[in-house]
């Protein structure tokens, strides 16, 4: 039991480190680990969102200080994603359905971890249509609140694929996007009942340290290939367990 708990907390630390390095909060990773260690589904969503808030805020501050954030690019996504995330948070899914949807989203996360991100040159960037951003924000925001993620694993690849932002700009935008959606999702869940992991304060401490180190490291060029593959392997196990439960 002690060994399992220690492994659980170590995983939280490394997930926070890795996700924060690319401007994410790590909710999909936290949910995967919680599912892997049989944490109650009632506490999974609010706990993951709370940890997400902290790590994404830390990541945002680092990327903002580095000058990669633009309010005019962020706002079109946020004005619709926040109310949508709140709405999604108010919906209580059956545990069986919840785990299956979560498994599908974790597959998206695994693909993100394993693929290589190619830098988008500033000259290749295209303007992001305001109304398209609002529609995208609504869809991602709703999914975020419903499942208990911030939406970064969906938004980031979309921004890069459409050539709307560079990797650093994407990380900065995703970080604050994740934060506001996570806060809205928590408030939505709170309408019914808000139950956190029994050792949530220890979880907060670990992800805060991991998130700070990861976000700081994200400003420098460092090799994350091994860590990404290890995390992808862990997520694969979690997906299998969620689908079989």
Element (H, E) at 13: helix 2-20
**Cα distance between residue 175 and residue 85, in whole Å:** 15
Place of tokens 């959606």: 181
- The residues, ordered by sequence, that sit 6+ positions from 19 with a Cβ below 8 Å of its Cβ are 25, 26, 29, 55, 59, 152, 211, 214
C-beta atoms surrounding 72 within 10 Å: 8
Max mean pLDDT range (40-44, 48-52, 148-152): 48-52
| pLDDT number for residue 104 | 85
Q: Which single residue is written with the structure tokens 């580095």? A: 66
Give the residue among 172, 156, 155, 35 at the shortest CA–CA distance from 100: 35
| pLDDT value of residue 74 | 95
| pLDDT score for 187 | 94
Per-residue model confidence as pLDDT tens digits over 55-77: 999 989 988 988 889 998 999 99
Check if the beta carbon of residue 15 is closer than 8 Å to that of residue 203.
no
CA end-to-end span of the chain: 21
Q: Is the pLDDT of residue 241 over 80?
A: no
Residue 223 is predicted with a pLDDT of 53
Give residue for tokens 């700070």. Answer: 212
Looking at residue 221, its pLDDT comes to: 55
Look-up of token digits 């690019």: 73
Contact 208, 65 (CB under 8 A): no
pLDDT of residue 225: 63
Q: Is the pLDDT of residue 222 over 70?
A: no
Between 98 and 207, the higher pLDDT residue: 207
Question: Which residues lie below 8 Å from residue 243, measured CB to CB, with a gap of 6+?
Answer: 99, 100, 103
List pLDDT tens digits, range 77-131. Answer: 999 999 999 999 999 888 788 888 888 888 887 887 777 655 655 657 888 899 9
Tokens of residue 78, six digits: 């946020």
Residue 7: pLDDT above 60? yes
pLDDT beyond 80 at 174: yes
Residue 54 near residue 212 (C-beta atoms within 8 A): no
Inform me whether the pLDDT recorded for 30 exceeds 90.
yes
Can you give the pLDDT at residue 220? Answer: 60
Residue 222 or residue 51, greater confidence: 51
pLDDT at 226: 61
CA distance linking residue 209 with residue 80, whole number of Å: 31
Give me the percent of the chain exceeding a pLDDT of 90: 42
What confidence tens digit (pLDDT) does each residue in 186-203 have? 999 988 878 999 999 999
Per-residue pLDDT, 233:
75
For residue 224, pLDDT beyond 70: no
């Amino acid at each position: 039991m002690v060994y399992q708990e220690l492994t659980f907390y170590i995983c939280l630390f490394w997930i926070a480190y890795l996700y924060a390095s690319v401007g994410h909060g790590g909710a999909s990773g936290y949910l995967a680990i919680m599912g892997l260690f049989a944490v109650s589904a009632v506490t999974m969503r609010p706990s993951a969102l709370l940890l997400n808030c902290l790590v994404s805020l830390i990541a945002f501050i680092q990327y903002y200080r580095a000058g990669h954030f633009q309010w005019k690019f962020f706002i079109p996504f946020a004005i619709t994603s926040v109310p949508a995330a709140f709405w999604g948070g108010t919906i209580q899914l059956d545990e069986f359905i919840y785990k299956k949807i979560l498994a599908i989203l974790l597959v998206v996360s695994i693909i993100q971890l394993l693929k290589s991100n190619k830098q988008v040159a500033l000259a290749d960037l295209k303007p992001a249509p305001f109304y398209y951003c609002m529609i995208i924000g609504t869809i991602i925001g709703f999914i975020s609140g419903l499942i208990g993620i911030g939406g970064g694993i969906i938004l980031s690849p979309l921004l890069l694929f459409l050539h709307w932002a560079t990797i650093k700009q994407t990380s900065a935008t995703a970080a604050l996007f994740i934060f506001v959606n996570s806060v809205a999702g928590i408030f939505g869940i709170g309408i019914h009942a808000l139950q956190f992991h029994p050792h949530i304060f220890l979880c907060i401490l670990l992800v805060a340290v991991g998130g700070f180190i990861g976000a700081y490291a994200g400003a420098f060029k460092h090799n994350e290939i091994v860590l990404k593959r290890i995390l992808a392997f862990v997520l694969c196990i979690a997906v299998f367990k969620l689908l079989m439960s």
